[in-house]
Amino acid sequence: MGGTTTEQGQRPGAAGRWPKLASPGAAAAGLGGLGLALLAAWVLLTALTRDVQVSRDGAAVVFAVGTGLLGLLLARRQPQNPEGWLLLGPAAAVLAVLDGGLYAVLDYRMHHGRLPLGETAVFIRGGLGPPLLFVVALVILLFPDGRPTRRWTWVLWLYLGRTPWTWIRSGPIWPASLTRCWHPPTSRSG
């Protein structure tokens, strides 16, 4: 049964199927590499802006690196366990939020909005940051094997139902301070 394959590695008649994706270990290594690149960007942006307050004096970076290393270890050793992915993905996202904040400081405070992608940096900082808080609780609820225990299942469903409602109620993702940068108040002397 079926030992023949085409040059592309597919069996005859498998033309409509999705190609095989990279292994979970390779995906975890890719997310880890992305995290390292974001960490290097954080170091560079912190040196350029001389502003460590954006990253909570480095505490957020320590959190991101610690959870990223733990997530990388779990995702590579036990790829079927969602805990590793729930730690690795948000660790990279925290670094992206910090980089976005530092780039926004560099663009708007130091270069007065002349750098490219300043608006995108503000959007990443304001749009990705608050939802990351919800992922931390999800990691705790799904500890240790990625499945809630029977006692906590109702809490998980309540949490998953409440989270989108909270995001919607929290208002616009786009910060109002950016609007003031584009449209400074005008004073009319009469």
Judge whether 155 lies within some domain: no
CA 61 – CA 48 distance, rounded (Å)? 17
The string of pLDDT tens digits covering residues 101-147 is 899 989 888 888 888 988 888 888 877 777 777 787 788 888 888 88
Domain-embedded: residue 171: no
Whether 112 maps to a domain, the answer reads yes
DSSP H/E element including 27: helix 24-49
Residues ≥6 apart with Cβ < 8 Å to 181: 108, 113
In degrees rounded to 5, what are phi and psi of residue 185?
-65, 140
User: Using CA of residue 29, residue 30, residue 33, residue 35, what is the dihedral sign?
Assistant: negative
Instruction: Please state which of the ranges 67-71, 128-132, 153-157, 186-190 shows the lowest mean pLDDT.
Output: 186-190
Average pLDDT over residues 51-56: 77
Cα 14 from Cα 67, distance rounded (Å) = 40
Q: Residue 38 sits in which domain range?
A: 24-128
* pLDDT surpassing 70 at residue 179: no
Residue 91 included in any domain: yes
Distances (CA, A) of 126 to 38, 56, 76, 188: 17, 15, 31, 32
Measured from the Cβ of residue 70, the count of other Cβ atoms closer than 10 Å reads 15
Give the pLDDT of residue 3. 54
The answer to whether residue 58 is domain-embedded is: yes
Q: Residue 16: inside a domain, yes or no?
A: no
Most confident of 16-30, 97-111, 150-164: 97-111
DSSP symbol at 188: -
Is the predicted pLDDT of residue 47 greater than 60, yes or no?
A: yes
Terminal-residue alpha carbon distance, the chain:
90
pLDDT of residue 37: 95
pTM of this prediction? 0.70
Q: Is 190's pLDDT higher than 50? A: no
For residues 147 and 49, which has the higher predicted lDDT (pLDDT)? 49
Percent of the chain with pLDDT over 90: 16
Number of structural domains the chain divides into: 1
Instruction: Read off the tokens for 85.
Output: 């992915």
**Quick one: pLDDT at residue 182?**
46
Q: Let me know if residue 44 belongs to a domain.
A: yes
Q: Which of 72-76, 105-109, 146-150 has the lowest mean pLDDT?
A: 146-150
Asked whether residue 149 is domain-assigned, the answer is no
- Kindly tell me if the per-residue pLDDT of 65 is higher than 90: yes
Cα 149 to Cα 98: distance, rounded to the nearest angstrom: 34
